[in-house]
Structure 1
Amino acid sequence: MNNRRLRSDCENCFGLCCVALPFSASIDFAIDKAASRPCHNLRDDFRCGVHQELREIGFRGCTVYDCFGAGQQVAKVTYNGQNWVQAPHTAKQMFEVFPIMRQLHELLWYLSEALELEQSRSIHTALRSALDETDRLTALSPETLLELDIIAHRANVNVLLLQTSELVRAGVQREQKGPRKRQKSYDRGADLIGANLRNADLQGAYLRGAYLIAADLRDADLRSADLIGADLRDANLRGADLTGSLFLTQFQINAAMGDARTKLPLSLSRPPHWTS
């Protein structure tokens, strides 16, 4: 899977995230906006009129969001370059298709990562089949996409992603030798809001869906930790090692706080708002 295809390309989108998605006035957004209503900062050319100052004027949520390339897929492929302004009769449908496409592209991101892992070689055939099927779904017509049971498809893919996680983390546990701090084990969706995990050995930890909001993870070892769906908003990742972490996304990294010492997987970029 071409990694560039799974990265946001706003130049080839119709500002879909700025129109289709709702948001409420909060620490992340300065105003309320209903779904299917264009943000007042969206220009006629589908660019943001305040892009360079979003965080300063109260729209930091916009700097965190990532669509996994779903925006350009909907704009250029699903609707063949015809935008919702030129063809207003497509607007409602387009805005409903966009979040479905985003979920499919997110799954493509996870499956592509899983296929790159040597530890998952025993299930590569199944992973490849799931990736090919998910890729096929992204090319469906708008009408068919709206009829898709995306919840069932996600559940099927998740079985393979969980198997991948177990294979990788089991290998980490076998490799650990000598005296070490005890590796933490958490239930899915663990409440770790504001937790003090500084210097914690979380290598190979199960942190799926964990609430790590504002958690102190400075200098923590998160190598090979399963972070799928973990909420890292305002988590302090300064000096943390996330190389080889499983199913980490740009969206999660953008929402966290880090610095030049934070080690990231090669597939992710250091957010410009992080400290030096």
Structure 2
Amino acid sequence: MSSNSTFYSDDSSVAQSPANGAQMLSVSYSSVSSALRVPTLAVDRLVTNGAVASTAMPPQVQVSYNGANVQEDYLAADGKTTLRTVLGTSYTVVPLTGLISASPAELFANSAVGLITNTINGQALYNTQATWQTGAAYVKVVRQYAADTLYAYDCVAPATTGNTPTPCSAAISTLEGFFPYTSTADGKTYQLGDGQIVTVAGVRAWVANAQLGGATTDYRVYYQSNGGISAGYLIRSGTTLQITPLGGGTPQSNAYFLNGAALGSLKSAISF
């Protein structure tokens, strides 16, 4: 492992149940290993009401109940504007007991916890005889987007920060005059007929007919902004968030969240 290696947790909690009204999620980051650092995390940039806005870091998330679902509203850095909304639609609690090495296969295969099962020069990264602390458990959650969500990014290098991503063209102002366009990121040339022109997130946008290929189903987007054409990708309302297993393969729909006792067990077990 290098000095740039990281193994950290995203620690989230609420002061009280959303049954008492919407709650702000308290979010912080901590290294699971005392020998490693917490990385500098990038913010997301999304298009909303015709303009690009950045998420906060740490995230500002308002949690509430929406019928039988848990609603998470991710706010912009201003703490007011909702940039994306996610619904937790299914929750399963799985207790953890006995040896960590004998944990359910899904936990190791489908979450970052599985990283500890790797070896370096034949040496295990954790004490394979370590056990889960009393009360350890994880929660499986199925979540989906509750609205069409348009992410923005720099069309050409270098990477920038702030709310003005580098456009694909500053000279062409309409989508009809932009195509054909060769995307080096996608490795293909798009024609106007490969997508549909619609209004999304308050901008006039071309949305590809074919899926882009992310773990969570997404679509390439080019949109008109500030007299030019910028790039992004769209995740449609109702799309389930999916994660690619550590070893690759078919994306799966569950996210895995450890409770405090489970995280403490890992901190005690790892050997780096």
Say yes or no: TM over 0.5.
no
Higher helix fraction: Structure 1 or Structure 2? 1
Q: Which has the higher contact order (CA 8 A, sep 6+)?
A: 2
Higher CA-based Rg? 2
TM-score, length of structure 1 as denominator length: 0.25
